[in-house]
A and B are shown apart, each in its own frame.
Chain A
Amino acid sequence: MRLGRSLRAVCAILVVACTALTVEAQPRAGLAFGRVPAGSVRPLFDAPEDGGQTAVAAFLLATRPVSNAEFLQFVRANPSWQRSRIPAIASDAQYLRHWQDDLALGSADPNAPVVNVSWFAASAYAEWVGARLPLAIEWERAVALGRVRDPGTRTGAIWAWVDDFNGAITSGESRADAGPDEGLFCAAGVLRASNTTDYGAFMRYAMRGALKGRYALATLGVWLVRDVAPTTVP
């Protein structure tokens, strides 16, 4: 009976797929993480509530960004994230444009940092390997400690997506503004730049404010972090 055979085939595929997904969802071999100790950061845009310094809990930071080869493994295992299949809501036309094809790097260096990935794709990759994207404040801490290279200070470096890139509630040229537009935002208090001479930080904040989650940029890659201890996110 044709229907019965199809049903058994579907069940067999599901069993194999579930096994494969379980096996694959492990941190990539070859990507090491180092501990960033707890400390504090002066966020560039502070509010009275923040009180100046923001505490940052310890976290594990990858020693390098995600590579083209690693991202290729991800899209091979998760076809809906391939270049020809990803919906426009999740990425723009620049997505993985430096690759030859959906599953072929072409002349792209397998070991070079993957770029041209949207925030949605970067987040999905992080979830797939059991990691996450850094918070903006974690990235600022890593920069302050010299643990990540910043394009403002070294050539060839890339910016990396942060989980809360859409968390900056500012409008206009906010170095000296009175505060966020009360029509646009429901926001507490005044946001002022705490340090108008930190050009690198200002560039990072300005860039995040200009980003949309579907943008894929040649200067924006994926740098993973993990929690120090398993946490239950409320």
Chain B
Amino acid sequence: MRNDITHAMNRIMSHTMQFVHTAAYRCRGALVVCAAATVMFAATTLAQSAAPLPSTSVYAIAGTWTERSGATQTLASLRGEPVVLALVYLSCSMTCPLLTSDMLAVQASLRAAGPSNARFVMITFDPSRDSLPALQAHASSRGLDAQWSLLRGSPADVRRIAVALGISYRRLPSGDFDHSNVITVLDRDGVVVHQEIRMPMNRERLTAAVKTAGGRGGR
């Protein structure tokens, strides 16, 4: 599929070059050349972000997710910025609220050090009870801003991403979940670069991992 995108981009660029060649002959001048240059710039930028996923990226794992706003997305749409990710559920009275606090602390630390586009993602173990309004209410009550995505998917999607991240969990007869305590840092391409796997979480290590993953200067 990546080759098809590159092929299509090449076709667009070759047609654009033909047009520029013809336009130059007809003396449509600088305006046309500027337009063509803009199109080619856009095409090459798109081609860069369509670069193949690294072989170890979790974004290759299938799944369709609904964000608290109602918008549907794939995990691959998170590509481009580091991601701090946890699997939790809203009825969890034990460690899940603490995981959220840890992620909020990491967000605060990053911002104290300068502008940060790192994203914070929570995926629920419990799609049957954690509805979109419940996720919205939770985001409001915890002060989770626009950098946070709260995602809900099918039980099969949850199982797949949990397996990919090495997170164990099981649903109990009560409807609660036993689960491992994990916060994961993904790089811009969805490759796991760090995981905290036990409480208490080491917030400094998480923050450092995000800074390293985001380090490219500028963006």
Query: Judging by beta carbons under 8 Å apart, are B60 and A164 in contact?
Result: no
Chain A CB within 8 A of B53 CB: yes
Query: Judging by beta carbons under 8 Å apart, are B57 and A89 in contact?
Result: yes
Q: Which of A90, A169, A183, A213 contacts B178 (CB 8 A)?
A: A169
Chain B CB within 8 A of A168 CB: yes
Chain A residues lying within 8 Å of B92, measured Cβ to Cβ, are 186
Known: A88-B55, A89-B56, A89-B61. A184 touches B180 (CB 8 A): yes
Chain B residues lying within 8 Å of A199, measured Cβ to Cβ, are none
List the B residue with the shortest CB-CB distance to A180. B178
Q: Which of B61, B167, B181 contacts A183 (CB 8 A)?
A: B181
Interface size class of A (residues with CB under 8 A): 35 or more
**Nearest CB on A from B57, distance (A):** 6
List the B residue with the shortest CB-CB distance to A191. B178
Chain B CB within 8 A of A219 CB: no
Known: A89-B57, A234-B128. A188 touches B179 (CB 8 A): no
Chain B residues lying within 8 Å of A101, measured Cβ to Cβ, are none
Known: A3-B11, A233-B156, A234-B128. A89 touches B178 (CB 8 A): no
Query: Judging by beta carbons under 8 Å apart, are B198 and A181 in contact?
Result: yes
**Nearest CB on A from B88, distance (A):** 9
Query: Judging by beta carbons under 8 Å apart, are B11 and A186 in contact?
Result: no
Query: Judging by beta carbons under 8 Å apart, are B174 and A49 in contact?
Result: yes
Contact string, A164-200, partner B, CB cutoff 8 A, digits 1/0?
A: 1011110000000000111111111000000000000
Chain B CB within 8 A of A34 CB: no
Q: How many A-B residue pairs have CB under 8 A?
A: 98
Distance in angstroms between the alpha carbons of A163 and B155 in the assembled complex: 11
Chain A residues lying within 8 Å of B162, measured Cβ to Cβ, are 166
Known: A89-B164, A164-B159, A166-B167. A183 touches B179 (CB 8 A): no
Query: Judging by beta carbons under 8 Å apart, are B169 and A167 in contact?
Result: yes
Distance in angstroms between the alpha carbons of A183 and B172 in the assembled complex: 19
Chain B residues lying within 8 Å of A212, measured Cβ to Cβ, are 163, 166
Known: A186-B178, A187-B178. A166 touches B168 (CB 8 A): yes
Known: A186-B94, A212-B166, A213-B163. A87 touches B56 (CB 8 A): yes
CB<8 Å pairs between A and B, sample of 15:
A47-B172, A87-B55, A87-B57, A88-B55, A89-B56, A119-B163, A120-B160, A123-B160, A166-B159, A166-B163, A166-B169, A185-B168, A186-B180, A188-B178, A212-B163
Q: Which 3 residue pairs of A and B lie closest in terms of their CB atoms, listed nearest first?
A: A213-B163, A167-B170, A183-B198
